[in-house]
Structure 1
Amino acid sequence: MGNQTTWQETITNGRFGGKTVIVTGAGSGIGQATALRIAKEGGRVIAADISKERLDSLVEENAGLDLVPVPGDISTEETVAAVLTAAGGRVDALANVAGIMDNFAPIHEVDDELWDRVFRINVTALMRLTRAVVPLMLDAGTGSVVNIASEAGLRGSAAGAAYTASKHAVVGLTKNSAVIYGPKGLRFNAVAPGPTITGIVANFGSQMAAERLGPLMQANIPTPATAAQLAASITFLLSDDGTNLNGAILASDGGWSAL
């Protein structure tokens, strides 16, 4: 009954009214669209991003919204601590959006630097921030986490070896967390975007990948979505509207995963 009351209250107060929500990668693309949608629906957003300039612009251009900027590398414990400090001891929801792409290299062409960087941002950063937030949610007996996976977390034909492996890891972390923390009132879900119009650059750095994956993508990839469309999927799962969803991997991909 407690969840039902919360859901009824959001009808009049906005889905995120009175809630504190952390959004990583909030300076641009999907993260920015998610942060803005949450703030416009009444939430207090702790907006984390590597770029102080982008965060400053976000806050300046949206002075009427409750946006708290936290610049820094979210894969470091220092930035994680800064985010938790800004949240002030309460976190109702977390959107792990920050991520980077690889160069489509297959495994025999992957160098250690690329592998480590992709996993540090896409997996380790997500793990560290979630690890810091979960105790607060456990104390409250409620909380919602949405991770950004990818079509590359569902299939092997959407990116290179490093990115594909990292997003499969995100799917695994999401499902494991849903199983472990569901009985405690916490929900963990993921959104798997298809092609999306963002600032992330994805170029073929491998001739082998271009020859193999290029034709598959040209034949199958749907029209790219906007960041706002992805934000709609994320905020649905993040909010109490997703009350009965836990461990779900939502393919927000224009039907690509159905092919």
Structure 2
Amino acid sequence: MSVVIPVSADWLTLRERADAASRSRALATRAARMLRPPFTVHDLGSGTGSMVRWLAPLLPGPQTWVLHDWNPALLEHAARADAHDADGGPITMRTRVGELEHLRAADVEGASLVTASALLDVLAADEVEAIVDACVAVGTPALFGLSVNGRVELDPLDPGDRVFEAAFNDHQRRVVEGRRLLGPDAVLVTADLFRSRGWSVRVADSPWTLSSADGALVAEWLDGWLAAAVAERPALQEWADEYSRSRSAQLAAGRLRVVVHHEDLLAWP
């Protein structure tokens, strides 16, 4: 079964600043202490390369990054990332185009660290288990960032908040071509899988905290959040239209605040 995650470079670029501000530096620092240069990082679902741009400067050099993604156009973009190590040294980057639904140990052979960002929640349980087993087989620590956990906070409050949150979360757990996505359960499932294999796990909150200064991102996120909720529960369409108009007016007036909760996970032998 082929896993294709439709995502645009524009969306990845729009969210990159919020992602960088949200990821757990504490977990990244802990991961850095496990590495002995020179080392190789395998980044799964690299997209436009936001993880290498964020993490490489927090790690010593020399570094080699192997970027894995389904989309060759995104990988080409990522390979041009202007990234340096903590000492300002250049990063060596290689790319691999291919599916990640059943990762094998051979795919990450030689890795010193496996990373991913905003990936686990769009996979099914057996696909996450394959990633866990690959990491365990080669004995490489794993740092996974920005998996949604289903919680959203909006200020000012609105009666629709919890209704649309619940519908969105159900949509994130939907069945796609026979695959039931983990959605907001992804970090819990991944942590349990690593622990069942005797590994240590740490989880940290990594919320987006957004305001009118992030207007373009909030607007795009809100549209996607509501669209997913309505796709799951079509009867919400009229309410969603009204809710969207109200929230958009608050955003334009500089009155809307949004916290989209995510979690980061670090696992090691």
For normalisation by structure 2, the TM-score amounts to 0.51
Structure (1 or 2) with the greater strand fraction: 2
Post-superposition offset of 1:22: 2.6
1:129 aligns with one of 112, 128, 131: 131
Q: CA deviation at 1:52?
A: 1.0
Structure 1 residues 20 and 156: alpha-carbon distance in aligned structure 2, compared to 1, 3 A threshold: farther
Rounded to whole Å, the distance in 1 between the matches of 2:113 and 2:201 is 11
- The amino acid that maps onto 2:69 is D
Give 1 or 2 for the bigger CA radius of gyration: 2
Contact 2:68-2:96 at 8 Å conserved across structures: yes
**Count of aligned pairs between the two proteins:** 191
Gaps of 5+ in 1: 1-6, 101-117, 244-259
1:208 aligns with 2:235: yes
Unpaired runs of 5+ residues, structure 2, are: 1-28, 84-89, 153-161, 175-181, 211-216
For 1:67 and 1:195, the matched residues in 2 are separated by: 31
SS at match of 1:132: helix
Matched, 1:177 2:193: yes
In 1, Cα distance between the equivalents of 2:67 and 2:81? 14
Correspondence 1:49 to 2:69: yes
CA distance in 2, matches of 1:177, 1:127: 7
Does the aligned pair in 2 maintain the 1:93–1:144 contact within 8 Å? yes
Per-residue CA distance 1:192-234 (angstroms, 9 max, x = gap) = 6558849988224354344566749948973478xxxx8xx85
Q: Tell me if the contact between 2:45 and 2:69 (Cα under 8 Å) persists in the aligned partners.
A: yes
Secondary structure at the aligned position of 1:73 is classed as coil
SS at match of 2:136: helix
Q: Select which of 43, 49, 52 maps to 1:35.
A: 52
1:152 match: 150
2:116 and 2:143 mapped to 1: Cα distance? 6
Deviations 1:68-95 (A, max 9, x none): 21212211x3xx24xx546433343433
Q: CA deviation at 1:179?
A: 3.6
Post-superposition Cα deviations, 1:115-153, rounded to whole Å, max 9, x if no partner, equal xxx5xx35443332222111222xx7xx23425421427
Query: What's the TM-score once normalised by structure 1's chain length?
Result: 0.53
Q: CA deviation at 1:26?
A: 0.9
Q: CA RMSD in A?
A: 4.6
Match of 2:10 in 1: none
